[in-house]
Amino acid sequence: MWLLLSLNLAGKAAALLLGWSAPAVALALWFGPDLLLAYHVFAPGAQGLVRMHRRFATPRREVWLTLDDGPDPEDTPQILALLAAHDARATFFLIGEKAAAHPGLVRAIIAAGQEVAHHTQTHPAANFWCASPGRVARELDAALAALRGAGVTPTRFRPPVGIKNLWLAAALRARGLTAVAWSARGLEHWSGGAEAVATRALRGLTPGAILLLHEGPRVPTAIRVHAIRRVLERLREQNYRCVVPGPEQLVN
């Protein structure tokens, strides 16, 4: 983070020094570091501000299925049944305020042997990039309290739509949270039905992949739960198991 900020300030200072003598160069020096910083804030796989794991190490045909934006009273029970039927494990990245509204669903996820993880308190996708240190702390601590109230202390975190900010890395470290991105996602709002979503989630499938799918009302009705079912079926056809990797496997 400090390298990115120093580059940014140095660029601004150099641009001011050059001033009118070389306007094109000054413009590039002024805005170039901004673009670099923006890339590390907004690109889900960028590592400059927060270490985001995108794969895990495994010698076996294993993937990590991660499900965001729950819990949801309609979807979560169906997904738990699907996972049980496929002998699959998954991690549910839960939104704190939804977890607080449905603590029974959080307990059901834990009772089913699945992992509960942290996906902020309110899912502030539009403005998380510019959240103040206080706002970041509130998003983290409120969701931690909601999840602890339901009986679990999460160790994994995913920011809303993968967007980071300047304060996130230190805030996660202080709370013992590891950030997890993904290697492939279903992109449920793109074109096509459940089959197309499954195809996107399984594109370039190799051992150690981290797959991202969603639950809840923001997913188009025709795709809800069905896309997850198709992913599980297609993984089984290809002899892949869904596992939750240990912290020592998160090296990528």
Active site residues: 68, 214
The answer to whether residue 75 forms part of the interface with Zn ion (CB under 5 A) is no
Nearer to Zn ion among residue 86 and residue 118 (C-beta): 118
| Interacting residue with Zn ion among 69, 75, 139, 215 (CB under 5 A) | 69
Q: Which of 118, 101, 55, 105 lies closest to 79 in space, CA to CA?
A: 105
Q: Which of 116, 77, 126, 65 lies closest to 95 in space, CA to CA?
A: 116
Nearer to Zn ion among residue 128 and residue 167 (C-beta): 128
Candidates 61-69, 137-145, 235-243, 244-252: pick the segment binding Zn ion (CB under 5 A). Answer: 61-69
Q: How far is the CB of 64 from Zn ion (least distance, A)?
A: 16
Nearer to Zn ion among residue 62 and residue 69 (C-beta): 69
Nearer to Zn ion among residue 13 and residue 42 (C-beta): 42
Q: What's the token pair of residue 51?
A: 């270490």
- Residue 221's alpha-carbon distances to 68, 196, 225, in angstroms, are 16, 14, 9
Secondary structure letter of residue 55 according to DSSP: B
The answer to whether residue 215 forms part of the interface with Zn ion (CB under 5 A) is no
CA 180/CA 2 separation, integer angstroms? 22
The answer to whether residue 68 forms part of the interface with Zn ion (CB under 5 A) is yes
Q: How far is the CB of 93 from Zn ion (least distance, A)?
A: 7
* Helices and strands: H and E segment counts in the chain: 9, 9
Q: How far is the CB of 120 from Zn ion (least distance, A)?
A: 8
Nearest residue to Zn ion, using CB? 68
Mark out the alpha helices in the chain (DSSP H runs). 2-18, 23-42, 75-85, 96-101, 103-111, 133-149, 168-174, 194-201, 226-237
Q: How far is the CB of 122 from Zn ion (least distance, A)?
A: 11
Candidates 11-19, 60-68, 175-183, 241-249: pick the segment binding Zn ion (CB under 5 A). Answer: 60-68
Nearer to Zn ion among residue 56 and residue 157 (C-beta): 157
Q: How far is the CB of 235 from Zn ion (least distance, A)?
A: 22
Q: What's the token pair of residue 64?
A: 């990590």
CA 97/CA 224 separation, integer angstroms? 21
CA 92/CA 90 separation, integer angstroms? 7
Residues binding Zn ion: number (CB under 5 A)? 2
Interacting residue ranges for Zn ion, rule: CB under 5 A: 68-69
